[in-house]
Amino acid sequence: MTEVFTGNFTQQEPLPQASIEAAMAVLGHGRLHRYNLTPGEVGEVALLEQEFAAFTGARYCLATASGGSAIGVALRAVGVRPGDRVLTNAFTLAPVPGAIAALGAEPVFVEVTDGLVIDLDDLAAKAGQARVLLLSHMRGHIADMDRLMEICTSAGITVVEDCAHTMGATWNGVQSGRHGAVACYSTQTYKHMNSGEGGLLVSDDEDIAARAVLLSGSYMLYERHTAAPGPEVFARHRMDTPNISGRMDNLRAAILRPQLRELPRQIARWNERYRVVEEGLRGTPGLSLVERPAKESFVGSSIQFLLKGWSGAAVGEVLERCLKRGVELKWFGGAEPTGFTSRYAHWRYAPSPELARTDGVLSGLMDMRLPLTFSIGDCEQIARIIRAEVGAVFQAR
C-alpha cells in the first residue's frame, strides 16, 4: 500500500506555558505600548532587547514590528537614500528587495551558487556598484563570511545582514548577524521564535543604533531603551532622524522572552529532524543535496534540494506526485509566484538583467518546511515519499 503523510506543514507548536502566562500578565494590566510604563518599570520590550543583545553578544538591540520593518530601519540607519544602489542576493524572499525599493533605492542582484549562498566572485565583480550590501542568509544557508567581509571591507561596503532564517546559527563560531554593521531578525510565525509578527535588530555601532531607535518611533522617549546608547549619542541624531513608527509591543515581547530561553534546545530539535530527512534523501537518483560547510552551524527549520537539469514539466510532476501523498514542496523555478515563494524575475518593482547562474539553480530548487510538530517518524516517512516520487519521475525521463 502506498503511504501518505497526513501532517500539516504550516502548523507550529503551541506557545510554551511561560509565554502564555507572560502574555496574560500583560493583558491583565493593559500596558501594551512599549512606552506605557509605571514608575520604575522597565517593560517587556526593553527586557527582550537586553536579553537578545546578550544572546547575540551585541552591544545594542531594538525590537520592531516585523522582520521587514527591521530591515527598512537598518537600511535607513546606515544611510541608504532614494536613488542609491544596494547589493543583495538574487535568491531571497520578497521583503528583502521590497525594503530596498520602499526607500526609492535600487536593488543590484548578485548571483547565487549551488550551495544557495551569494556568489562571492560575482559580489567582488559588482562591489564598485554600491556602498551597502543587504545580505540575506536565505533559508539558513551562510556564505563564507570571512571572505565576504574581506571583499566588502576592501570595497568600503557596509553589510546589513538579514538573519530571518539564521537566528542562533554561526559561521566559524561567530553568531550569524555579528559580521556586518547591523543585523535583522524575524519573529514571524514560521521563524525560530513565534510572535505572529515581529523583528529584532542588533548592532555594535552607537550611531546606527541611535538612529534605528529614533526611526522605529521612540519620539523623545529613547532613554527608556536599556539596550541602546547613551543620551549624548541620541543628541547627535534626534532632530534629523524621521519617525517611521515600527515598534514592537509588550505583548509580543512577553511571548518571545521565554522562547528565547528555549532557543538552543529548539535548534537541536530542528537539526535532528533535518538530518533525518537529509539522510533519507541521500543517494536518491537525480536529486542533489545541499551539503553544509564544516564552518557553518545552522538551524534546520527547512530543507532544500536540487533537481539539476530537470525540465519544468518534470519538476512539476514531482511536486504534484508528492502533494498527492501529503508532502508539500515549494519550487523557486515556477513561472508565477505562489504563496510566499517568488524570485527576482517576479519583482517588477526591482528590474534586473537575467542572471544565468541563478536561473539555473532556481529552476531545480525544491524547498520544504520542517516544523517541530513533525516527529522523527514523520521525517522518515516524508523522506521515503520524496525519494520514491523523485526516483519514479527520474526513471521515466
Together in a domain, 26 and 151: yes
The verdict on residue 155 lying in a domain is yes
- Give yes or no: residues 133 and 229 share one domain: yes
Separation between Cα atoms, residue 145 and residue 150, nearest integer Å: 8
Q: Total structural domains in the chain? A: 2
Residue 1 has pLDDT above 80, yes or no: no
Residues 270 and 196 in one domain: no
Average pLDDT of the segment spanning 316-332: 97
Give the pLDDT mean for 145-171: 98
The residue from 239, 257, 275 where one domain ends is: 257
| pLDDT tens track for 242-262 | 999 999 999 999 999 999 999
Same domain, 96 and 242: yes
Structural domain boundaries enclosing 227: 17-257
Q: What letter does residue 338 receive in the DSSP assignment?
A: B
CA atoms of 27 and 31, how far apart (whole Å): 7
**Nearest to 69, CA basis, from 244, 238, 193, 234:** 244
Residues 266 and 223 in one domain: no
- The percentage of residues in the chain with a pLDDT greater than 70, rounded to a whole number, is 100
Model confidence at 397, pLDDT cuts 50, 70, 90, reads confident
DSSP 190-219: TSSS-SSS-EEEEES-HHHHHHHHHHHT-T
CATH number, domain at 291? 3.90.1150.10
Same domain, 239 and 287: no
Q: Which of 213, 241, 257 is the C-terminal boundary of a domain? A: 257
Instruction: Provide the pLDDT for residue 271.
Output: 98
The CATH number for 188's domain is: 3.40.640.10
CA distance 26 to 245: 21
Residues 246 and 289 in one domain: no
- Residues 248 and 315 occupy one common structural domain: no
Tell me what percent of the chain is helix, strand and coil, each rounded to the nearest 5: 40, 15, 45
230 burial via Cβ count (<10 Å: 0-12, 13-18, 19+) = exposed
Sheet (strand 302-306) strand order? 288-289, 302-306, 365-369, 330-331
Of 170, 139, 186, nearest to 343 (Cα)? 139
What is the rounded CA–CA span in Å between residue 264 and residue 222?
31
Neighbouring CB atoms inside 10 A of 283's CB total 9
Per-residue pLDDT of 13-59, as tens digits, reads: 999 999 999 999 999 999 999 999 999 999 999 999 999 999 999 99
Same domain, yes or no, for 285 and 300?
A: yes
Residue in 332, 298, 277 with CA at minimum distance from that of residue 93? 332
Whether the Cβ atoms of residue 290 and residue 361 lie closer than 8 Å to each other:
no
Answer yes or no: do 293 and 192 share one domain.
no
Q: Does some domain include residue 376?
A: yes
Q: What is the pLDDT of residues 209-232, one digit of tens each?
A: 999 999 999 999 999 999 999 999
Specify whether 78 is located in the same domain as 210: yes
Q: Are residues 327 and 251 in the same domain?
A: no
Last residue of a domain, one of 257, 281, 313: 257
pLDDT average, residue stretch 323-350: 94
**How far are the Cα atoms of 147, 186, 310 from residue 136, in angstroms, in the given order?**
16, 12, 26
**Within-domain flag for 332:** yes
Q: What is the residue-averaged pLDDT of the chain?
A: 97
The x, y and z cell numbers of residue 227, run together, are: 539596550
Residue 324 belongs to what H/E stretch? helix 312-324
Task: Examine residue 273 and state whether it is found in any structural domain, yes or no.
Answer: yes
Is residue 12 assigned to a domain? Answer: no
